[in-house]
Amino acid sequence: MKMNTQLGYVPVTFADLTDDEAFWRGCDGCVNVDVLKRTGRKYCICTGMLYDPAVHEGEPTPIELPEEVMRKIGK
């Protein structure tokens, strides 16, 4: 979580995350997925995090990221 925070991600409630099924399928390989599913995606042992590129407009990234990643986050 420390690395994600340094990259600009902030912890959020699971209600703040997307409803996109493709996103949630990424949790299927996690050992905690049963908690997530049993609670209707409201609670989990993991931490939900979001990145808002508008908040970090014009800021340099704290580490060197591959060009493909930079394109995806719009920098």
**Domain extents for the chain?**
2-72
User: How high is the pLDDT of residue 1?
Assistant: 75
* In the block, residue with structure tokens 């990643």: 69
Q: Quick one: which H or E segment has residue 11?
A: strand 10-12
Q: What is the pLDDT along the chain (75 residues), one digit of tens a residue?
A: 788 888 889 999 988 999 999 999 999 999 999 999 999 999 999 999 998 888 888 887 667 778 888 788 776
Report the alpha-carbon angle 52-63-66, nearest 5: 85
User: How high is the pLDDT of residue 45?
Assistant: 93
User: How crowded is residue 48: how many other Cβ atoms within 10 Å of its Cβ?
Assistant: 16
pTM check: above 0.95: no
Which pairs count as long-range contacts for 18-22, CB under 8 Å and 24+ apart, including other chains? none
